[in-house]
Structure 1
C-alpha cells in the first residue's frame, strides 16, 4: 500500500507514506486508493480512501490536509484543519503542528516530502514541471525557514513520478526550460521521434533542492507511467480514459 524513504524512516517522531494505488475502495479506472478530491470518482469512495491514508500516517481524516493545486510556486502554512471547509490554492504545505498530516497530490508530477528533524518542521510539495520551473521548491524551503528550519538541516524525499524514459516532450517545452537557464539542457536527451526529447523531472527537482541548500535527498525511483501500481495522468490520456486517480503522499509529526 505504501513506499517509504529510508532517510525519512530513520527520523524519530515522524511518519510518512508514498501511497500506491492499492488498499482502497474505488473501482474501475480509479482502482483502488484514489485520494483525488478533484476527480470524478464517487465522493464517498474518495472520503473512505483518504480516511485509510490518514489512519496510515496516524491522524484523523480532519487532520489529513491537501491543497487545491494550481501548478504554482505558492505555499500554504498549516496550523490545523483548513477553516471553512475550503482548501487553499497552493502547491505546497508547511507546518510545525504535531498530529497534522500534510499531503501532496500527484499522478505523474513530483511529490516531495521534507523535514528538518531538529526544528520539527515538515513540508509537502507538488512539483510538476511548471511549479518546479517557477520556484515551488525554493518557496517551500523559504517557508520552512520561516517556521524555524535551517535549510542545511532539511532532509527531502522525492516520491513516485514520471521518469525520463517515459516523459517525452516537444521542442517548445525544451525551449522554455533553456530560455530560463541554458544549463537546463542537461535534463533532456533526444527522443526517438524527431523534434522531441525525454525530460528528467526527478533530476531537475533534485537540482532545485540542491541549489536551495538541501543536500540530504532520497529518491524512491518509481515511475508512475510504466508502473501500474501508480496512477498516471499521461497513461490515462494515452489510453483514452475519461479521468484518472490521484495519490496523496503525506508526512506528519507525531505528538510527543
Structure 2
C-alpha cells in the first residue's frame, strides 16, 4: 500500500507515506486506492480511500490535507483541518502543527516531502515540470523557514514520479528550460526521433533542492509510468483511457 523513504523513516517523531494504488476500494481504471477528488471516480470511494490513507498515517480523515493544485509556486500554511470544498489553491503545504498530515496529489508529477527534525517543521510539494521550473521547491523551503526551519537542516525525499526513460518531450519544452538556464540542458537526452528528448524530472528536482541549500535528499527511484503499482497520467492517455487515478503522498508530525 505504501512506499517509504529510508531517510525519512529514520527520523523519530515523523510519519510519512508514498501511497501506491493498492489497498483501496475503487474499481476499473481507478483500481484501487484512488485519492483524486477531481477524478470521475465515485466520491464515496475516494472518501473511503482517503480515510484509509489517514488511518495509515495515524490521523483522523479530516486531518489529512491536500490543496487545490494549480502548477504554481504557491504555498499554503496549515494550522488545522480545512474544508476540502474550500481548500487553498496552492502546490505545497507546510506546517508545524502536530497530528496534521499534509500531502500532495500526483499521477506522474514529482511529490517531495520535507522535514526539519530539529525545528519540527514539515512540508509537501507538488513538483511537476511547471512547478519545479517556477520555483515551488524554493517557495516551500522559504515557507518552512518562516515557521522556524533551517534549510541546512532540512531533509527531503523525492517520491514516485515519471522517470527520464518514460518522459518524452518536444523541442519547445526543451527550449523553455534552456531559455531559463542553459545548464538545464543536462537534464535532456535525445529521444532518437523528430527532434524530441527525454526529460529527467527527478534530476532537475534534485538540482533545484541542492541549489536551494538542501543537501540531505532521498529518492525512491520509482517510475510511475512503467510501474503498474502506481497511477500515471501519461500512461492512461497513451492507452486512451477516459480518466486516471491520483495518489496522495503525505507527511505528519507525531505528538511529542
TM-score, normalised by the number of residues in structure 2 = 0.99
Aligned match of 1:231 = 231
Aligned match of 1:72 = 72
Residue 83 of structure 1 and its aligned partner are, at CA, apart by 4.9
Is 1:212 the equivalent of 2:218? no
Q: Secondary structure at the match of 1:198?
A: strand
Instruction: Tell me the distance in 1 between the aligned counterparts of 2:252 and 2:204.
Output: 26
Superposed CA offset, 1:112-151 (max 9, x none): 0000000000000000000000100000000000000000
Instruction: Tell me the distance in 1 between the aligned counterparts of 2:218 and 2:18.
Output: 12
Aligned length: 256
Q: Secondary structure at the match of 1:157?
A: strand
Aligned match of 1:146 = 146
Is 1:98 the equivalent of 2:87? no
Mapping of 1:106-255 within 5 angstroms? Answer: 106-255=106-255
Regions of 4+ moved over 6 Å: none
Instruction: Tell me the distance in 2 between the aligned counterparts of 1:193 and 1:21.
Output: 33
Deviates more, 1:229-238 or 1:80-89: 80-89
Instruction: Tell me the distance in 1 between the aligned counterparts of 2:169 and 2:10.
Output: 37
Q: Secondary structure at the match of 1:51?
A: helix
Aligned match of 1:37 = 37
Superposed CA offset, 1:22-72 (max 9, x none): 000000000000000010000000000000000001100000000000000
Q: Secondary structure at the match of 2:221?
A: coil
Q: Secondary structure at the match of 2:40?
A: coil
The gaps in structure 1 that reach 5 residues or longer are none
Residue 194 of structure 1 and its aligned partner are, at CA, apart by 2.2
TM-score, normalised by the number of residues in structure 1 = 0.99
Is 1:24 the equivalent of 2:6? no
Instruction: Tell me the distance in 2 between the aligned counterparts of 1:192 and 1:51.
Output: 45
Residue 99 of structure 1 and its aligned partner are, at CA, apart by 0.4
Superposed CA offset, 1:58-94 (max 9, x none): 1000000000000000000000011584110000000
Residue 176 of structure 1 and its aligned partner are, at CA, apart by 0.2
Q: Secondary structure at the match of 2:161?
A: coil
**What's the C-alpha RMSD, in Å, of the aligned pairs?**
0.7
Residue 192 of structure 1 and its aligned partner are, at CA, apart by 2.3
Residue 103 of structure 1 and its aligned partner are, at CA, apart by 0.4
Q: Secondary structure at the match of 1:53?
A: helix
Pair 1:237–1:83, CA change in 2 (3 A): closer
Instruction: Tell me the distance in 2 between the aligned counterparts of 1:69 and 1:192.
Output: 33
Is 1:3 the equivalent of 2:6? no
